[in-house]
């Protein structure tokens, strides 16, 4: 997996190779990343045959410039004017750095990151390369970690900076990875959006200069996602070379590409340096979040499947492959209008639906009657629930159900008992009125005392009642950043320290209550990233529960994240966000291949609707035995009139397909959807048509859509080999 000779590092996954070289003067340069190559002689492949009069650099008899050199971990101030990966200053305060190779080691297993989410460390068939470079100017050491996850074609990267000097140093930038390409004829694919419309796909050609996706919100955000793909111009869903980069991090980030004067591209990912800096005393170290890289020679689809496999095999809670509970969430059923009687009535009907868990969402605590009051008062509202949750839990048990509960642990309400007791515990400046959003402020999770307090308040409820499911929400972004606990020269550490505090809090809850299944949420999908998925195996994908809106949202989310991590609920009509009316069948079909759940009031639906829900859940239970370890394929493009996706079982004997009309007045023409991933020579029985066709035919001529479909109508197909 990892070889080193002739001063060159060779990192191989099953289908990709990543190669770097130490130049004679100790500069570490990148050589190659792409399809796996067996040859181990890269001496003729130099990416630096360019010339500029500034910062002339001689290497192996050739003259080039620093601005063309493919630095593996670039710095500023020495003639490379492209994006730097690291900026460190010592007592002089100056920011020029020059890192040279010091030593390296190769070890079994993966890199361990203290306090940060990361891919498994103790995995077999994983090797790690740690390269240590030292800065001539500040004496800071940078440790570059590369863990090779051969089986899923992923290389993880992260950086550790160690202060080897005798005085303090300041780190004002520290990327998790940087990677140079000789060429820049790529399109950049990213996921953008807004509240209730997350993760739309955008594909644009790279321009010269910086092309950046970022967040300074204290969360990865509805608006951006810590992921980009670089696709060769001719690459599409199934063909061509595509590089994917994502961060296992949920806070302020930047991922981008800098296209330099010689048309070469530099891909970088890490903490957003705008809201970051870190003071290090002698011998202290700083650990960056982990980035993950994958290469696909078969289009965007394979890149997605690589990420899905990585998540399923190596990412924290996701790799436990826990069966997800099918929930009835009461948010859209009652919003804040909750009472014991209502919940008791709902439980009876929920059991007829066939769900596993009833989730009491916002509105059960303090004096909560709307979003403006009681945030953080984590005690039961006795007016609404005079018996606490005792009767409710008893009723759940009598009906074979479990109870789930909503929390928003990171916030404190402007109108709350909590703030009266602890007016200094939220994020604010002294000089200016803090911004209030949704009636709440953000707790200062840089402080252990506050983390422990929140943990204790949540534990009070979680210990007293048998709660099996926790929805962890976060409904506002951070403003007025800074912490009273930090000295003035360390205030820019706030954003990352907040994330460390948050991960610590979630980790404590997980440790104390390992049986509780946690679903993430941030005003819907405002923090959908691998960092959160490390702790929570599924995330509420969007506050928009309309099936047709969900097509694009789930399509975009599936670019990176596996379907079982994407909470997808069937909700009432007309839809509460869009007012759109769609058939029960379509709402179910759109959710069926994801983490299915319900978001409606079962007390007002008729017997036949109840029976249909029951059937839907039965089908889901049958399918989930294999779909969540299968391969996910997108069959249409994000701007098509129709949307179709497919899952093929691991053994390729079974497949399910959903086909939905996405636009009104979509052309009423006969359709053939070409399926993917089947065995060409096998005959597949298509259950819904009572028809058998070869994989060859279905993948090339297509699966016939025999029926003329109305607006928003959908079809669900099940295929299996005979």
Q: Which residues are catalytic?
A: 473, 543
Return the number of the residue (46 or 521) whose C-beta is nearest ligand DGJ: 521
Q: Name which of 475 and 655 has its Cβ closer to ligand DGJ.
A: 475
Cα 129 to Cα 1, 108, 110, distances in angstroms? 10, 9, 9
Element housing 170 (H / E): strand 169-181
* String marking each residue 467-506 x if it binds ligand DGJ according to CB under 6 A: ------x-x-------------------------------
Residue 160 or 539: the one with the smaller Cβ distance to ligand DGJ is: 539
Q: Does the footprint of ligand DGJ cover residue 540 (CB under 6 A)?
A: yes
For the CB of residue 195, give the shortest distance to ligand DGJ in the complex, in Å.
9
Using CB under 6 A, which of 362, 395, 552, 564 touches ligand DGJ? Answer: 362
**Bridge partner list, 358:** 328, 403
- Is residue 543 at the binding interface for ligand DGJ, with CB under 6 A as the rule? yes
Query: CB of 474: closest distance to ligand DGJ in angstroms?
Result: 9
Q: Is 546 in the site for ligand DGJ (CB under 6 A)?
A: no
Q: Which residues pair with 407 in a beta bridge?
A: 472
Report whether 230 contacts 294 (CB < 8 A): no
Judged by CB under 6 A, does residue 331 bind ligand DGJ? yes
The Cα–Cα gap between 573 and 557 comes to 24
Task: Return the closest-CA partner of residue 401 out of 339, 341, 355.
Answer: 355
Task: State in angstroms the smallest separation of the CB of 97 from ligand DGJ.
Answer: 43
The three-class DSSP label of residue 549 is helix
Contact yes or no for 527/534 (Cβ under 8 A) = no
Applying the rule CB under 6 A, the residues between 617 and 646 that interact with ligand DGJ are none
Is the Cβ–Cβ distance between 158 and 291 less than 8 Å? yes
Q: How far is the CB of 151 from ligand DGJ (least distance, A)?
A: 35
Mutual orientation of helices 340-353 and 390-398 as an angle, nearest 10°? 20
Pick from 415, 421, 419, 427: which is nearest to 501 by CA?
427
| Per-residue binder mask for ligand DGJ (CB under 6 A), 387-406, x = binder | -------------------x
Q: In the bound complex, what is the minimum distance in angstroms from residue 304's beta carbon to ligand DGJ?
A: 24
Query: Cβ(279)–Cβ(493) under 8 Å?
Result: yes
The number of residues that bind ligand DGJ (CB under 6 A) is: 11
Say how many CA atoms lie within 13 Å of 380 toward its Cβ: 20
Binding mask 15-54 for ligand DGJ (x = CB under 6 A): ----------------------------------------
Residue 309: its H or E element = helix 299-314
> Token digits for 140?
């800071």
* Helices and strands, counts by H and E, the chain: 12, 40
CB atoms within 10 A of CB 100: 14
* Rounded Cα distance, 268 and 84, in Å: 9
> Minimum Å distance from CB 198 to ligand DGJ?
11
Which residues in the 270-309 window bind ligand DGJ by CB under 6 A?
none
C-alpha 380/C-alpha 364 separation (Å) is 6
- Cβ closest to ligand DGJ, residue 128 vs residue 329: 329
What's the min distance (Å) between Cβ of 71 and ligand DGJ? 42
Taking CB under 6 A as the rule, does residue 334 contact ligand DGJ? no
Q: Which is nearer to ligand DGJ, 199 or 496 (CB)?
A: 199
Select 65 or 475, whichever has its Cβ closest to ligand DGJ. 475
Segment 516 to 535, residues that bind ligand DGJ, using CB under 6 A: 521, 523-524
Chain contacts with ligand DGJ (rule: CB under 6 A): 331, 361-362, 406, 473, 475, 521, 523-524, 540, 543
């Amino acid at each position: 997996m990892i070889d080193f000779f002739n001063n060159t590092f060779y990192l191989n996954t099953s289908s990709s190779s990543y190669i770097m070289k130490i130049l004679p003067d100790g500069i570490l340069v990148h050589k190659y990343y792409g399809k796996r190559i067996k040859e181990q002689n890269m001496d003729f492949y130099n990416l630096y045959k360019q010339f500029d009069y500034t910062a002339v650099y001689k290497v192996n008899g050739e003259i080039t410039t620093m601005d063309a050199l493919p630095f593996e971990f670039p710095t500023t101030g020495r003639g490379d004017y492209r994006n730097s990966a690291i900026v460190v200053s010592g007592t002089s305060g100056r920011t020029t750095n020059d890192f040279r190779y010091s030593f390296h080691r190769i070890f079994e297993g993966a890199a361990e990151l203290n306090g940060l989410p990361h891919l498994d460390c103790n995995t077999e068939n994983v090797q790690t390369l740690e390269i240590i470079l030292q800065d001539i100017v500040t004496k800071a050491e940078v440790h570059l970690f590369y863990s090779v996850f051969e089986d899923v074609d992923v290389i993880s990267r992260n950086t550790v900076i160690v202060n080897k000097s005798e005085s303090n140093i300041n780190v004002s930038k520290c990327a998790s990875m940087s990677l140079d390409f000789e060429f820049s004829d790529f399109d950049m694919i990213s996921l953008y959006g807004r509240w209730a419309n997350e993760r739309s796909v955008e594909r644009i050609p790279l321009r010269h200069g910086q092309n950046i996706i970022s967040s300074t919100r204290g969360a990865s955000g509805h608006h951006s996602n810590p992921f980009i793909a670089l696709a060769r111009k001719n690459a599409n869903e199934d063909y061509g070379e595509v590089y994917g980069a994502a961060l296992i991090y949920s806070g302020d980030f930047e991922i981008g590409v800098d296209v330099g004067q010689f048309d070469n591209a530099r891909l970088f990912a890490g903490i957003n340096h705008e809201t970051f800096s870190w003071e290090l005393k002698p011998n202290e170290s700083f650990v960056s979040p982990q980035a993950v890289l994958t290469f696909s020679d078969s289009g965007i689809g394979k890149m997605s499947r690589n990420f899905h496999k990585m998540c399923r095999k190596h990412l924290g809670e996701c790799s436990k492959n826990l069966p997800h509970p099918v929930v009835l969430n009461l948010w859209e059923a009652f919003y804040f209008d909750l009472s014991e009687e209502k919940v008791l009535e709902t439980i009876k009907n929920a059991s007829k639906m066939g769900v596993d868990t009833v989730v009491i969402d916002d509105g059960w605590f303090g004096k909560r009657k709307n979003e403006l009051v009681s945030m953080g008062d984590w005690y039961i509202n006795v007016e609404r629930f005079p018996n606490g949750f005792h009767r409710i839990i008893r009723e759940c048990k009598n009906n074979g159900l479990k109870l789930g509960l909503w929390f928003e642990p990171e916030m404190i309400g402007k109108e709350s008992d909590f703030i009266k007791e602890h007016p200094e515990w939220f994020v604010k400046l002294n000089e200016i009125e803090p911004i209030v959003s949704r009636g709440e402020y953000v707790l200062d999770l840089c402080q252990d005392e506050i983390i422990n307090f929140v943990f204790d308040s949540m534990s009070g409820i979680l210990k007293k009642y048998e709660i099996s499911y926790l929805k962890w929400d976060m409904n506002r972004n951070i403003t007025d950043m800074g912490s009273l606990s930090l000295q003035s020269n360390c205030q820019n550490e706030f954003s990352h320290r907040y994330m460390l505090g948050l991960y610590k809090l979630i980790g404590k809850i997980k440790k104390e209550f390992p049986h509780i299944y946690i679903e993430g949420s941030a005003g819907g999908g405002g923090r959908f990233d691998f960092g959160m998925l490390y702790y929570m195996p599924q995330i509420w994908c969007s506050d928009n529960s309309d099936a047709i809106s969900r097509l694009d949202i789930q399509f975009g989310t599936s670019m990176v994240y596996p379907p079982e991590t994407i909470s997808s609920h069937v909700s009432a009509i007309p839809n509460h966000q869009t007012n759109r009316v769609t058939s029960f069948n379509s709402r179910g079909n759109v959710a069926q291949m994801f983490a299915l759940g319900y978001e409606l009031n079962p007390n007002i639906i008729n017997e036949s609707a109840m029976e249909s829900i029951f059937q839907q859940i039965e089908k889901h239970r049958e399918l989930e035995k294999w779909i969540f370890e299968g391969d996910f394929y997108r069959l249409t493009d994000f701007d098509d009139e129709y949307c179709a996706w497919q899952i093929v079982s691991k053994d390729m004997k079974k497949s399910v397909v959903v086909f939905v009309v996405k636009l009104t007045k979509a052309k009423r023409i006969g359709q053939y959807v070409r399926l993917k991933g089947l065995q060409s020579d096998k005959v597949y029985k298509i259950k819904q048509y009572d028809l058998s066709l070869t994989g060859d035919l279905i993948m090339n001529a297509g699966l016939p859509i025999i029926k003329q479909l109305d607006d928003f109508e959908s079809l669900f197909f099940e295929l299996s080999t005979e």
